[in-house]
Amino acid sequence: MNDQWDVVVAGGGNAALVSAMAATDAGARVLLVERAPVVFRGGNSRHTRNVRCVHADADEFHTGAYPADELWSDLCGVGDGPSDEELAMLTVRESATVPAWMSARGARWQPALTGTLHLGRTNRFFLGGGKALINSYYRTASRLGITVAYDSSVEQLRFDGPRCTGLLIRSTGGERWVRAGAVVAASGGFEANIDWLRRYWGDAALNYHVRGPVYNDGTVLARLFAAGAARAGEERGFHAVAVDARSPRFDGGIATRLDSIPFGIVVNRDGRRFADEGEDIWPKRYATWGRNIAGQPGQIAFALWDAKVRGQFLPPMYGAFEAPDPQGLAKQLELDPVAIAETVAAYNAGVDRGPGGRFSMAERDGLATVGLEPPKSNWAQRLDTPPYYGVPMRPGITFTYLGVGVDEHARVRRADGGTFDNVYAAGEIMSGNILSTGYLAGFGMTIGTVWGRIAGRQAARHAHG
Ligand X SMILES: Cc1cc2nc3c(=O)[nH]c(=O)nc-3n(C[C@H](O)[C@H](O)[C@H](O)COP(=O)(O)OP(=O)(O)OC[C@H]3O[C@@H](n4cnc5c(N)ncnc54)[C@H](O)[C@@H]3O)c2cc1C
Least distance between ligand X and beta carbon 127 (Å) = 13
- CA–CA dist 249, 396 (Å, integer): 9
d(CA 229, CA 329): 52
Under the binding rule (CB under 6 A), the answer on residue 116 touching ligand X is no
For residue 251, the minimal CB distance to ligand X (Å) is 9
The reply to whether 193 sits near ligand X by the rule CB under 6 A is: no
Is residue 398 part of the contact set for ligand X (CB under 6 A)?
Answer: yes
Site for ligand X in 202-231 (CB under 6 A): 211-212, 215-216, 219-220
Q: Considering only residues 5, 6, 7, 15, which one is a binding residue for ligand X as defined by CB under 6 A?
A: 15
The C-alpha atoms of residue 113 and residue 62 are separated, in whole angstroms, by 10
Residues 409-428 that bind ligand X (CB under 6 A): 427-428
Residue 402 has φ and ψ, to the nearest 5°, of: -65, 125
Segment near ligand X (CB under 6 A); pick from 90-98, 357-365, 380-388, 443-451:
443-451
DSSP, collapsed to helix, strand or coil, labels residue 142 as: helix
Please return the burial class of 168, using the count of CB atoms within 10 Å of its CB with bins 0-12, 13-18 and 19+.
middle
Task: Kindly tell me which of 90 and 346 has the beta carbon lying closer to ligand X.
Answer: 90
For ligand X, give the closer residue by CB, 112 or 351. 112
Q: How far is the CB of 243 from ligand X (least distance, A)?
A: 9
Chain-centre distance for alpha carbon 270: 30
Give Cα 143 distance to the centre of its chain.
Answer: 29
Vertex 95 angle, CA 85 and 59, to 5°: 135
Q: Judged by CB under 6 A, does residue 43 bind ligand X?
A: yes
CA 376 to CA 278: how far, in whole Å? 5
Count the residues of the shown chain that bind ligand X, applying the rule CB under 6 A: 42
Q: Which of 6, 13, 269, 313 binds ligand X (CB under 6 A)?
A: 13
User: How many whole angstroms from its chain centre is CA 311?
Assistant: 26
Which CB atom, from 335 or from 412, has the smaller least distance to ligand X?
Answer: 412
Closest CB 368 distance from ligand X, rounded Å: 31
Whose Cβ is closer to ligand X: residue 48's or residue 369's?
A: 48
**Cα(87)–Cα(404) distance, rounded to whole angstroms?**
13
Q: Is 95 in the site for ligand X (CB under 6 A)?
A: no
Regarding 47 and contact with ligand X (CB under 6 A), the answer is yes
- Distance of alpha carbon 47 from alpha carbon 461, whole angstroms: 32
- Asked if 403 is part of the footprint of ligand X (rule: CB under 6 A), the reply reads no
Cis? peptide before 374, omega within 30° of 0? yes
Applying CB under 6 A, which part among 40-48, 68-76, 90-98, 307-315 lies near ligand X?
Answer: 40-48
Indicate which single residue of 5, 6, 12, 392 sits in contact with ligand X (rule: CB under 6 A): 12
Interacting residue with ligand X among 79, 237, 395, 444 (CB under 6 A) = 444
Cα 258 from Cα 52, distance rounded (Å)? 22
8-state DSSP, 385: S
Contact with ligand X (CB under 6 A) among 5, 24, 49, 277: 49
Residue 180 binds to ligand X (criterion: CB under 6 A): no
CA angle 148, 153, 159 (to 5 degrees): 105
Closest to ligand X by CB, 95 vs 369, is 95
| 154 binds ligand X, rule: CB under 6 A | yes
d(CA 246, CA 147): 39
Q: Which amino acid is it at 365?
A: D
Residues of this chain that bind ligand X (CB under 6 A) = 10-16, 33-36, 42-45, 47-51, 153-154, 186-188, 211-212, 215-216, 219-220, 253-254, 398-399, 427-428, 442-445, 448
